[in-house]
């Protein structure tokens, strides 16, 4: 309401250039509209996080700077209304409508996105994600947030343009141990779901910051690399796909091969910091190509082929995918003399 700031049920009808709303009396809408919102020159905000206890809001600001807050019954309904209203706002501009639908159905994360930067923003006391006490199956969890609230926050802070994109970004935060599941709902998804379904865009799935994120740094960033390791001559570098040791998922990494001393380091291309996220000495290592007829033991997930394996002298196994057999052969040929 504009005069009394209360919330009332209204029946909405979206036309090409306006949004009508009707009063409900006796379970039926009245014949004439109670009011209308002219969409010409409107701006829409969805999700709107201005009301902490109302996560299902759409905000419309007219060209006369009047604010309307509309609350839906579910996130699916909210996002559907927001998409249709946005389409009506831009109805006279078909190129913008096409771009809107392309963004909704496509996936493209921001270039050079830094997970550390996102976590820092999430932890901000004024603009970060709101931490609350939540109940699940009789258990009370402190300082948690739901999967859906994180997706909403990522979109509202322009880190993602769609829920699919935000879920993918949240999954990266989960995989890199910035956040962790809390309670049965989210924990079971992590254990038993496919990698693409481990993070839940769900208002009953709970998460919290991992211990390492409380300092806005991950345990991996705390890895200290000896300066001498990184002082060798760069022999070869390029992008390869590496299997993780903990979750057994596959991630693109930029590998840098150095000689004198002989080390192989790998970097996360999504992070701004030019420091390795891992690496090892090549002295005493064994390297071999893996045949493409079947998935070897120890390898899980999406395997496209062109695999090779490096076993360190400490018996740590690294499984790596190249983009082609020729590229795999080039890497093996470059690494072997340094072992």
Q: Which of 217, 251, 284 is the last residue of a domain?
A: 217
Domain assignment of residue 3, yes or no: no
Q: Is 90 exceeded by the pLDDT of residue 329? A: yes
The two three-digit tokens of residue 177, written as one number: 């141990």
Q: Sorting pLDDT into bands at 50, 70 and 90, what band is 218?
A: very low
* Bond before 261 cis per omega within 30 degrees: yes
The two three-digit tokens of residue 147, written as one number: 């999967």
DSSP string, 58-108: EEEE-TT--EEEEE-SSHHHHHHHHHHHHHHHTTT-HHHHHHHHHHHH---
Average pLDDT over residues 215-236: 62
Strand order in the sheet with 11-14: 11-14, 18-22, 35-38
Could you tell me if 271 and 114 are in contact, meaning their C-beta atoms sit under 8 angstroms apart? Answer: yes
pLDDT given at position 286 = 94
pLDDT given at position 107 = 45
Q: pLDDT digits over 279-302, tens only?
A: 889 999 999 998 765 556 556 666
Q: Which domain holds residue 166?
A: 115-217
Percent of the chain with pLDDT over 70: 81
Domain assignment of residue 232, yes or no: yes
Q: Which of 51, 81, 105 is the last residue of a domain?
A: 105
Q: Which of 193, 217, 241 is the last residue of a domain?
A: 217
Which CATH number do you get for residue 24? 2.30.29.30
Could you tell me if 217 and 225 are in contact, meaning their C-beta atoms sit under 8 angstroms apart? Answer: no
Asked whether residue 212 falls in the same domain as residue 283, the answer is no
Q: Is 60 exceeded by the pLDDT of residue 225? A: no
Asked whether residue 200 falls in the same domain as residue 232, the answer is no
Asked whether residue 191 falls in the same domain as residue 122, the answer is yes
Domain assignment of residue 65, yes or no: yes
Count up the domains in the chain and report the number: 3
Asked whether residue 96 falls in the same domain as residue 157, the answer is no
Could you tell me if 132 and 35 are in contact, meaning their C-beta atoms sit under 8 angstroms apart? Answer: no
Domain assignment of residue 307, yes or no: yes
pTM above threshold 0.85: no
Tell me the average pLDDT of the chain. 81
Bridge partners, 69 (sequence order) = 59
CA distances from 101 to 51, 75, 148, 274, 330 (A): 28, 18, 22, 36, 42
- What is the CA angle 237-238-240, rounded to 5? 130
Average pLDDT over residues 72-88: 86
- The SS3 call for residue 271 is coil
Domain assignment of residue 153, yes or no: yes
Asked whether residue 33 falls in the same domain as residue 86, the answer is yes
pLDDT given at position 184 = 86
Asked whether residue 169 falls in the same domain as residue 204, the answer is yes
| Three-class SS of 189-251 | HHHHCCHHHCCCCCCCCEEEECHHHHHCCCCCCCCCCCHHHHHCEEEEEEEEEEECCCCCCEE
Asked whether residue 91 falls in the same domain as residue 26, the answer is yes
50-64, 214-228, 240-254: least confidently modelled range: 214-228
Distance CA 167, CA 200 (A): 8
Domain assignment of residue 145, yes or no: yes
Domain assignment of residue 2, yes or no: no
Q: Sorting pLDDT into bands at 50, 70 and 90, what band is 223?
A: very low
Asked whether residue 276 falls in the same domain as residue 311, the answer is yes
Average pLDDT over residues 36-52: 86
Q: pLDDT digits over 105-162, tens only?
A: 444 455 556 788 888 889 888 889 988 888 776 778 888 999 999 999 998 888 887 7
Q: Sorting pLDDT into bands at 50, 70 and 90, what band is 196?
A: low
Average pLDDT over residues 52-62: 86
Q: Is 50 exceeded by the pLDDT of residue 222? A: no
Q: Sorting pLDDT into bands at 50, 70 and 90, what band is 95?
A: low
Q: Is 70 exceeded by the pLDDT of residue 96? A: no
pLDDT given at position 189 = 82
pLDDT given at position 282 = 93
Distance CA 143, CA 212 (A): 15
Q: What is the DSSP letter of 336?
A: G
Which CATH number do you get for residue 187? 1.10.10.10
Average pLDDT over residues 93-115: 55
Asked whether residue 139 falls in the same domain as residue 86, the answer is no
pLDDT given at position 163 = 82
Q: Locate tokens 């579910």: which residue?
A: 74
Domain assignment of residue 4, yes or no: no
Asked whether residue 134 falls in the same domain as residue 90, the answer is no
Asked whether residue 89 falls in the same domain as residue 135, the answer is no
């Amino acid at each position: 309401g504009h005069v009394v700031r209360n919330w009332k049920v209204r029946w909405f009808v979206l036309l090409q250039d306006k949004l009508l709303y009707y009063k409900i009396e006796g379970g039926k809408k009245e014949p004439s509209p109670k009011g209308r919102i002219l969409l010409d020159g409107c701006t829409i905000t969805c999700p709107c996080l201005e009301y902490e206890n109302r996560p299902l809001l759409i905000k419309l600001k007219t060209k006369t700077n009047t604010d309307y807050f509309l609350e839906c019954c579910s996130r699916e309904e909210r996002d559907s209304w927001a998409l249709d209203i946005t389409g009506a706002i831009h109805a006279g501009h078909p190129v913008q409508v096409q771009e809107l639908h392309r963004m909704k159905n496509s996936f493209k994360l921001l270039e050079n996105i830094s997970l550390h930067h996102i976590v820092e923003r999430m932890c901000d006391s004024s603009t970060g994600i709101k931490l609350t006490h939540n109940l699940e199956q009789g258990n009370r969890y402190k300082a948690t947030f739901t999967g859906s609230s994180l997706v909403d926050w990522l979109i509202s802070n322009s880190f993602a343009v769609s829920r699919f994109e935000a879920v993918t970004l949240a999954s990266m935060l989960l995989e890199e141990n910035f956040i962790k599941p809390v309670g049965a709902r989210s924990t079971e998804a992590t254990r038993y779901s496919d990698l693409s379904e481990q993070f839940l865009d769900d208002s009953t799935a709970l998460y919290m910051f991992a211990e390492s994120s409380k300092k806005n740094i991950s345990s991996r960033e705390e890895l200290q690399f000896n300066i001498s390791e990184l002082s060798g001559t760069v022999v070869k570098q390029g992008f390869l796909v590496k299997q993780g040791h903990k979750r057994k998922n596959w991630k693109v990494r930029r590998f840098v091969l150095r000689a004198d001393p002989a080390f192989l380091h790998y970097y996360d291309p999504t992070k701004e910091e030019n420091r390795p996220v891992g690496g090892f000495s090549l002295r005493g290592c064994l390297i071999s190509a893996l045949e493409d007829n079947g998935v070897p033991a120890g390898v899980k997930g999406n395997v496209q082929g062109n695999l090779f394996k490096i076993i360190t002298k400490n018996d740590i196994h690294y499984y790596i995918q190249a983009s082609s057999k020729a590229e795999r052969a080039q890497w093996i040929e470059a690494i072997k003399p340094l072992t």
